[in-house]
Structures are given as structure tokens and as C-alpha cells.
Structure 1
Amino acid sequence: MRHIKNRVLSSVMLAVCALIVPFTASAVEQEMKYVAITAIVEHPALDNVKKGVEDELKDNGYIVGENLKLQYQSAQGSSANAAQIAKQFVASKPDVIVGIATPSSQALAATTKTIPIVFTAVTDPVVAKLTPSWDASKTNVTGVSDALALETQIDVMMKIKPNLKTIGYVYSPGEVNSTIVLKQLQEILTPKGIKVIAAPAQRTSDIPTAARSLKGKVDLIYTTTDNNVVSAYESLVKVANESKIPLVASDPDSAGRGAIAALGMSYYNLGRQAGKIVIRILNGENPGDIPPQVGNVTQLVINTKAAERQGVVLSDEILNMAAEVVEK
């Protein structure tokens, strides 16, 4: 009788185990990961970064609602909002937080020293005090920079305006990325006999006034990925068209919005690159063991209609250099 009871008990235990094992495996497969994304403002370049991160996650099996919780907030151009979003995200304890652009990334880094942070669309993470160097930080921060070689930017400007003597630079003095580029431009161009005239615009509403201050003083206006400037780019284009000042940008999306030429990062691919780092962290890697990277896809976009409006005849040489030619 005891043997029969033992056999029955064993059969029951085996049946229970058979039920538990598949359930456990299924639970592991469907383990929910939580990724939070924040950007300082919404404009085409930063929107493309966000899309790149999301697509990289999706293409690697992270599906929203199945095994991924994804949250996004824009700071609408406000550093105070960026700080508040950082606090909210940290309190909700995501597995990884993605900071798009310098102010949002700085707010995150100031709020947590433990939750992994992946920055992107940041020109110099060292100057921005996000990482101590370009080596693995041994902290909770890593990411992808959108730093560009300025020599190639200057080469494009010279092809747009061969007798270039003065460059206007519209920028936000509160953006670290923009002040870094201004200093670098001055260091490179001054020995070449080319003057850089800075036109600060603290707010987006100041951009038209800053641009008009350059009329009659510069041969060309150059813009970087300054978030204030890019978010109100059409107002800058309007002044460039009226004043017949050639406009050259470092954000490829700006060509479609009215710059004659834009040589810069593919911000969508920058997002995909950041997404790859996010996945490495979700798979167990420590962010402090992953050195910061630089975006690896650049492209030149030319706008022939913008050239006509701004009084420039484009050479065959620069047209042949373009990855894309638009007519808008």
C-alpha cells in the first residue's frame, strides 16, 4: 500500500514539475524590460534619434507591450522641465534611460549615479561632464556623440562660397555643444584669415534678430545642431532668403528645411547606434565598461531651390559629392 501511495505521489510531483518548467521558461522569455527616453526638445533631428533607438529595440525582439515598457517625454526646450523629467524617470526605476541631447543627458546624470544612462546627440561628453574621458567611464553613463570633423564642414562652405572671408554663426550661448563648436571654428579659421562673427540667440524667438544682425557683415551663415536654432529653423531660413546669405548646416534634415547644404550625422543611424548600446546593457553589460562612441554615418544633402533663393550657383563638384539632392 505504501508503494502505491509513493508511486501516486511521484506521479503527481512529475505532473506538477511538467507544468512548472514550461511556465518558468515562458516567464523568462517574456521578462519585461523598461526603457525611458527623454529629449530636450522635439525637432526632426532629435525625433529621428528617438525613432532609431525604438527601431533598433524592435528589430532585436523588444516589443512594446510584450517584453518592453517604453516611456518618452520631451522637455519642450526647458532645462527646468528636463530636470523634472529626470527625477520622474529615476523614481520609476527603468532598466536604462536614454538622454537625447546635452541638457537632457546632463539632467539625468545629475539625478542618478546608479541607473544606466545612454546619451546621444551630444557633441562632447567630456566637456559636458557626462564622462571623465573618451574611455570607458566606470560609471553609469555611456553613449554616442554626434561630433563632426569641422575641417570637412569648412570644405563644404568653401565650395559654396569660394572667396569666403567671414562666417556668421547663430547659436544659443546656453548650449555647451554650440559654444564648443564656436571655439573650434575660431581656432581653425583665424589662421586661415577667415573671421567668425557670433550671433547669440538665447531663445528661439531671438533667432531672426540674431540672423538679421549679420546682414552685410558675413559671406555665409553656418549652423550646428543647436537645439534652439534647429527647432526654429524656418525663421532663420526666411532671413537668409531675404538677405541673400547662403545658409550651411551640420544637420542633414536642415537642407530639406531651407539650408543650401548640410553635412552631418544621420541622426536616425545615431539613434540605431545608441539603441545597440541600450540592448547590450539590457543583456547584462555594465555601462561603465562601454566606452563612448562617435556616430559612424555622415551624409551631405544639397537643396538646389534654396541655393537659387539665396543667390548661389552650385558647382558640379559639390552636386556630385551629395548623397541626396532635394528641391524644396
Structure 2
Amino acid sequence: MKRKGLWLLLVAFLSVAVLAACGSEGNEEDTNSDSSGENAAEQESSQEEGNGEEAASDETYVIGATQIVEHPSLDAAYEGFQAAIKDAGLNVEYKFENAQDDQNNAITIANNFVADGVDLIFANSTPSAQSVLQATSDIPILFTSVTNAVDAGLVESNEQPGGNITGVIDLHPEAITNTIEFIENNFEGSTVGVIYDAGEANSVAQIEAVKEAIDGTSLSLAEATVGNSSEVQQAATSLVGEADVIYIVTDNTVVSALETVVGVAEEQDIPLIVGEPDSVARGGFAAYGFLYYDIGYRTGEMAVEILTGEKTPADFPVENPPNLDFYLNKSAAEAQGVEWDAAWEEEAELVEPAE
């Protein structure tokens, strides 16, 4: 009897415990069902907002950057371009290609960028821009280090470029006229020797502007043309005995081998006038120019607005360099037999020779 009673008591206790547990579990499930629905909605909403912010901040753009050759001016333009985009906070992956002063390479680079489906192409030089424009009419193109975008066939007009391309040119409207005026005032009656790549459209345009500026002055012109950088030294040597002053415009082929011209100028005591301050630092005596970093930076600002969808290339007129300054290298002047005029220092920025 005692064992049977104990057994019945144990069964009764277990039954009550099971019922209590079931009731508690049911109540907990109901409670979680109500709150979890709200929490899930809140979590989902919060996650969507977080994902939206993350998508906006983490979006990465791909830019193809093509450059006809590497030299300090073009390199500075590319640095400025990248700096503007970095300052805007955009995440960008760059595909940089140097054509090694070969137009065929420039064409191949352009076609590769199109095949890769990059978001924007930065064309740093006239040949690079021409190659890219031939390769695509869909991908946005921004150029700089281009002298005359209209004559190069890049845009219909500077004011209304149309199409998928625009940028910042590398010739200030007064640069060549100021340079010729400086030569006329200080080297009156001189023959000005120029060296340029006849196959580079921007160089041909500048030489035509030089001829116009010289017309009516006491100066005359002597020309030497090259097809690649290996011919530059020979071209410079050919001007010895004919040119009293050498003037190198912003020709990529010649500027990439500028040191060979500097060597001839110093050996023969011929003043060397150049087209931009980077070349002054490399041994040119004087230049009316601007910083290529600045025109690259402005082009980068354009890129930001295009990549973010605020504007298209057609919305930007082709721009000129923002300023024009006079640069002198006193050490180069001495090495080239130039009699220094202290009055020059009143308007010029003195440039230290590059190390």
C-alpha cells in the first residue's frame, strides 16, 4: 500500500509539472511572437538603412588613365587629377597605361579600356585623347595636356563640345604671344629655333601660333622636326649655328627628351625658352606657363561630377588653364650664357633646378 501510494503521488506531481511547463512555453511563444515581429521590422529597416549608407560610401568607380609618354608635366597632370578625386571622397580604382610615345600603343590601350568597361577614361595628351575617342562614343572621356581640342578633332567647339568628351587644354591664350614678346625685347633680331614632332597635332598648332606671333617682329624662325624622342638631340644639334635662341613648345616627344636639348644649349651658349615650369626646373631658362598639376586637378573635379551622375561631358565647355605666370631659372641662364637682367625678377617666379 505504501509503495502504491507513493507511486500515485509521483505521477500526480509529474502531471502538474508537465502542464505548468506547457502553459509557460505557450505564453513565452506568444510574447516573443509579438515583440519579435516589431524587432524584426526594426532590424530589417535598420539593416536597409545601413546597407544604403554602405553602398553609397563603398561604391568603387574604375577609371582608365592613358598617357602618351611619361615626363614631369604629364605626370603632374595625372597627380592633380587623382588628387581632386581623392579630395571629393570617391573610391576609385585606376588602370594606368603609358603608350611609350607610340600611337599604336595608345590605340591598343584605348580599345582595352573599352573592352574592360571602365566608368570613365582620362586621356592625358592629344594622341591619347584621339585614340580613346576613336574607340568609344559611350564611355565619358576627359582630357588634359591637349593644346587645341578643335583642331585635333576632339570637340566641335570649345564652348559646346558635344558628345562624350571634354576637358582642360594646356595652352593659355597669351602664352605664345608673351613668349615671343619676351624674346623680341631681350634678343632682338634673333633667329628662334623650334623643335617639334610634326606628327603631333598639338605641336603643329603651337608652331603655327609661333609663326603668327613672330610675323611683323625682328625675329625669324628655324624649324627642326622629329618623329620620336631618339631624334631630339640630333635635331637640337642641327640648329647650332643657325638659331640664336631655342624655343621648345609643349611637345610631348621633345619634352620627354628635354635634357638632350639642355645639353646642346649649355654647350653652345644658346638661351633655351620652354613652355612650362616643369621644363624650367629641368634646365630651361624661361617660360610663360602654368602648373600642369592645376589643369589635372580641374579635370579631376569634372570627373567627380560625371561619375556621380550630376553632369555629362557635354555639360562642360572645354576650359583654359586658370592662370599664366612667368618662370625663370637663374642657374640655367648662367649655364647658357644669358646676361641676367635683375628687372626680370620683379615679375618672374624663380625656379630651382630639379635634382
Same fold (TM over 0.5): yes
Equivalent in 153, 163, 170 of residue 139 of structure 1: 163
Whether 1:312 aligns to 2:335 is: no
Residue by residue over 1:118-139, the C-alpha shift from the partner in whole angstroms, topping out at 9 and shown as x without a partner, is 0001000000000011122221
Whether 1:23 aligns to 2:51 is: yes
Once the two structures are aligned, what percentage of the paired residues are identical?
34
Letter in 2 for 1:56: A
Equivalent-residue separation in structure 2 for 1:325 and 1:288 (angstroms): 38
Equivalent-residue separation in structure 1 for 2:125 and 2:353 (angstroms): 29
More helix, by proportion: 2
TM-aligned CA distance change 1:110 to 1:20, over 3 Å: same
Shift of 1:248: 0.2
Which residue number corresponds to residue 208 of structure 2?
183
Retained in 2: the 8 A contact 1:102–1:121?
A: yes
Say which is worse superposed, 117-126 or 248-257, in terms of deviation.
Answer: 248-257
Which residue number corresponds to residue 289 of structure 1?
315
Residue by residue over 1:43-95, the C-alpha shift from the partner in whole angstroms, topping out at 9 and shown as x without a partner, is 00000001001111111112xxxx22122111111111111110111112222
Equivalent in 252, 257, 260 of residue 227 of structure 1: 252
SS at structure 1 position matched to 2:246: strand
Retained in 2: the 8 A contact 1:269–1:297?
A: no
Which residue number corresponds to residue 190 of structure 2?
165
Say which is worse superposed, 72-81 or 184-193, in terms of deviation.
Answer: 184-193
Shift of 1:306: 1.4
Residue by residue over 1:265-305, the C-alpha shift from the partner in whole angstroms, topping out at 9 and shown as x without a partner, is 21011111111111111121111111110111333221112
Equivalent-residue separation in structure 2 for 1:164 and 1:303 (angstroms): 23
Which residue number corresponds to residue 38 of structure 1?
66
Which residue number corresponds to residue 127 of structure 2?
103
Q: How many pairs align? A: 323
Equivalent-residue separation in structure 1 for 2:39 and 2:344 (angstroms): 78
SS at structure 1 position matched to 2:157: coil
Equivalent in 262, 277, 281 of residue 252 of structure 1: 277
Question: CA RMSD, aligned part only?
Answer: 1.9
Letter in 2 for 1:305: S
Retained in 2: the 8 A contact 1:173–1:202?
A: yes
Say which is worse superposed, 310-319 or 36-45, in terms of deviation.
Answer: 310-319
Retained in 1: the 8 A contact 2:330–2:350?
A: no
Whether 1:280 aligns to 2:305 is: yes
- Give runs of ≥4 in structure 1 deviating > 6 Å: none
- Tell me the TM-score normalized by structure 1: 0.93
TM-aligned CA distance change 1:202 to 1:97, over 3 Å: same
Which residue number corresponds to residue 103 of structure 2?
79
Equivalent-residue separation in structure 1 for 2:262 and 2:200 (angstroms): 21
SS at structure 2 position matched to 1:221: strand
Retained in 2: the 8 A contact 1:160–1:314?
A: no
Q: Which runs of 5+ in 2 are unaligned?
A: 1-26
Retained in 1: the 8 A contact 2:158–2:317?
A: yes
Retained in 2: the 8 A contact 1:319–1:325?
A: no
Shift of 1:159: 4.5
Equivalent-residue separation in structure 1 for 2:118 and 2:233 (angstroms): 40
Retained in 2: the 8 A contact 1:158–1:164?
A: yes
Letter in 1 for 2:268: S
Equivalent-residue separation in structure 2 for 1:158 and 1:204 (angstroms): 29
Retained in 1: the 8 A contact 2:196–2:254?
A: yes
Which residue number corresponds to residue 299 of structure 1?
325
SS at structure 2 position matched to 1:192: coil
Say which is worse superposed, 280-289 or 22-31, in terms of deviation.
Answer: 22-31
Say which is worse superposed, 123-132 or 308-317, in terms of deviation.
Answer: 308-317
Letter in 2 for 1:308: E
Shift of 1:251: 1.7
Letter in 2 for 1:57: I
> 1:90-129 maps to which residues of 2 (within 5 A)?
90-129=114-153
Retained in 2: the 8 A contact 1:220–1:248?
A: yes
Shift of 1:326: 2.6
Say which is worse superposed, 41-50 or 294-303, in terms of deviation.
Answer: 294-303
Letter in 1 for 2:313: P
Equivalent-residue separation in structure 2 for 1:144 and 1:112 (angstroms): 20
Equivalent-residue separation in structure 1 for 2:268 and 2:348 (angstroms): 25
